[in-house]
Structure formats: structure tokens, C-alpha cells
């Protein structure tokens, strides 16, 4: 979910690009699959993509003379190509932080299972079954959830 400041930035970009509300909502749907900037499914990466999309619309309109270039120092689109080049790795700092913390938790859960006598092959079988060939960023989250469930059930089965 986007913060209030990010939503304000998105609205400012919408105005600068000269989009009306229906075009704005169509852009949200096309780029991020949502109809509102307050939708919880909207991520930081979606914000980067939307700003890059609005930037392209803005500069095309400037080039054709439809929109006048803003001279404001607080303009969202001060520099051509800024948002398009901002995050080429397609990963935000929050994504990197979450990835690191999830990897640490997965490692901890695997160690806890190993302490109960379930080795690396067992964990790999859990991963294969939980992820089933997925290649998306959520696969690590799904694997973590499967490890949590497995660990909880194994701890219940082992008498204290």
C-alpha cells in the first residue's frame, strides 16, 4: 500500500501529465491492475512504473506542444527520463529489505526443522511442493509460510 506522500506524488504527476480522471484510472488499471491509488495491492514498484508511464505521456505532450513544460523546481517531471531510469533493477529499497528479512527467517525456520531431525532434503521437498515451479517474487513468501506450518505441526507432534 502506498503512503499518503506517495499518493500525493502520483496525483501531482497526473495533473502535470494532463490526464483526466478516466484516463488516470485506465492507466492505473493498465499498469498496476488497480482502479484506485489507495488500493492495498499497489506497491512501490507499481508507483515507479506509473510515474514512468506518466512521464512518457508528459514529455510526449510537451514535444507536441499540447502541454507546456513546467519550470517549477517542485515539478514531478523536471528532467526527461528521470522516472524511467530511476529503478532499472525493478526492485525498491523496501523490496530489498523484505527479501533479506524473509531469507533470514527462512534460514531460521530451516534450522529449527533440522534441530527436530528434518534435514535439507525435507526442506527442499517442502519448497518444491509449496512453490510448484513459480518464478515470481512471492515464491519465497509461500515457502516461508509452508515452513512455518510444517514447523508448528512438527513441534506439536514432538512431546516437550
Q: Which residue has the cell 495491492?
A: 41
- Are 37 and 10 in contact, with CB atoms under 8 Å apart? yes
| Residue 135, pLDDT score | 65
pLDDT at 53: 93
pLDDT band, residue 40 (cuts 50/70/90): confident
Question: Rounded distance, CA 69 to CA 14, Å?
Answer: 14
> Could you tell me the pTM of the whole model?
0.56
Whether pLDDT at 136 is above 70: no
Give the distance from CA 43 to its chain's centroid.
4
Confidence at 131, pLDDT banded by 50, 70, 90: confident
Which residue has 500500500 as its cell numbers?
A: 1
pLDDT tens string 92-114: 666 667 778 888 999 999 999 99
pLDDT value of residue 107: 93
Sign, Cα dihedral of 34, 39, 40, 44: positive
**Domain residue limits, the chain:** 4-85, 93-157
Amino acid at each position: 500500500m502506498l503512503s499518503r506522500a506517495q499518493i500525493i506524488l502520483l496525483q501531482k504527476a497526473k495533473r502535470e501529465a494532463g490526464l483526466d480522471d478516466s484516463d488516470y484510472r485506465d492507466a492505473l488499471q493498465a499498469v498496476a491492475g488497480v482502479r484506485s491509488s489507495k488500493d492495498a495491492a499497489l506497491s512501490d514498484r507499481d508507483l515507479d512504473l506509473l510515474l514512468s508511464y506518466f512521464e512518457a505521456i508528459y514529455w510526449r505532450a510537451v514535444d507536441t506542444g499540447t502541454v507546456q513544460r513546467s519550470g517549477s523546481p517542485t515539478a514531478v517531471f523536471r528532467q526527461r527520463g528521470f522516472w524511467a531510469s530511476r529503478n532499472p533493477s525493478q526492485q525498491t529499497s523496501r523490496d530489498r529489505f523484505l527479501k533479506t528479512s524473509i531469507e533470514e527467517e527462512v534460514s531460521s525456520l530451516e534450522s529449527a526443522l533440522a534441530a527436530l531431525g528434518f534435514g535439507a532434503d525435507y526442506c527442499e521437498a517442502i519448497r518444491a511442493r509449496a512453490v510448484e515451479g513459480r518464478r515470481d517474487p512471492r515464491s519465497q513468501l509461500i515457502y516461508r509460510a509452508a515452513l512455518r506450518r510444517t514447523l508448528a505441526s512438527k513441534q506439536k507432534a514432538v512431546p516437550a
